[in-house]
Amino acid sequence: MTGRLDFGPALLFCPGDRPDRFGKALGRADAVILDLEDGVASADRPAAREAVTAFARELSEADPDAVRRVIVRVNSADTDDFAEDLGCLRGTPFGTVMLAKTASVDQVARLAEQLDGIRIIALCETAAGVLAAPEIARHPSVVGLMWGAEDLVVSLGGSSSRRDDGSYRDVARFARSAVLLAAAVARADAIDAVHVDLDDLVGLGEEAADAVASGFAATACLHPAQVAVVRAAYRPTAQRIDWARRLLAAAELAPGAFRFEGGMVDEPLLAQAGAVLRQAERAGAVE
């Protein structure tokens, strides 16, 4: 089942105990991540599971096509909540699950065995998960990898993922790159981490622009206001689209390496131009 996600680029988290927000979140983002883990207090998780199950029934009747744009984040495989989360998902049409704090491919295999046919996004947000990302990504049920900075730093015994200027510390940058590389090798999609400073939309835009330029397929959001910023970052500009089209057109008349607008062009640049047009098409920026 190894493959790609068919939605993005803005994935919006929504607490599982706030069913009043489920439909709104799904309507505002490219996909919604219904959270049964950190976004819900332990005592409220039974009610959250009931809410997710009820939403599955409602959505199946009201908008069956939208079901595919729902992701459910379940608790890590080494918790008691894990089995309860999977129990609530059995029999629902939801086909994509995000496994929190994925630490090994064995945990992914356990999830895949218990939910037949499920598509898994492995959240590699601990030291163990980041180092195991290449093996995790190769599991046939994994369609995506996501990384997370805050839990990663906790797993290291640290206290902050960012420097005073807002930039990621080196270990977080390493984890981000490691997860991206592991996903690419396995032909799975990579999802960039949430930007926890909700007021810093400029910083979010810069990180999202770097994410798409680096090869991430999507960025996770914590607030609806972040969605438009992420979408804009993943949408190539008209100038960039025009450049890609002209470059590929010129390549049809010049086999091999050739000069184009003052620079030398070979296969890697042509591949990048093709990626720009695919991004544009996915974002609805081309006719």
241's CB contacts (< 8 A; 6+ apart) are: 276, 277, 280, 285, 286
User: What's the whole-number mean pLDDT along residues 60-74?
Assistant: 96
SS3 of residue 30 by DSSP: coil
* CB neighbours of residue 148 within 10 Å: 27
pLDDT tens column, 176-209: 999 999 999 999 999 999 999 999 999 999 999 9
SS3 of residue 143 by DSSP: strand
285's CB contacts (< 8 A; 6+ apart) are: 235, 236, 238, 241, 279
Answer whether residue 287 shows pLDDT above 70.
no
202's CB contacts (< 8 A; 6+ apart) are: none
The band of 257, judged by pLDDT with boundaries at 50, 70 and 90, is confident
pLDDT tens column, 79-114: 999 999 999 999 899 999 999 999 999 999 999 999
What spatial distance separates the first Cα and last Cα of the chain, rounded to whole Å? 31
pLDDT of residue 4: 77
* CB neighbours of residue 117 within 10 Å: 8
User: What's the whole-number mean pLDDT along residues 170-175?
Assistant: 98
Answer whether residue 33 shows pLDDT above 90.
yes
- Strand segments, DSSP code E, in 135-204 are 142-147, 189-192
* Structure-token match 């990180």, residue found: 207
Average pLDDT, the chain: 93
- Strand segments, DSSP code E, in 76-182 are 96-99, 119-124, 142-147
pLDDT of residue 261: 86
Say which range, 83-92, 193-202, 216-225, 233-242, has the weakest mean pLDDT: 233-242
pLDDT of residue 1: 41
183's CB contacts (< 8 A; 6+ apart) are: 133, 137, 144, 145, 189, 190
pLDDT of residue 2: 41
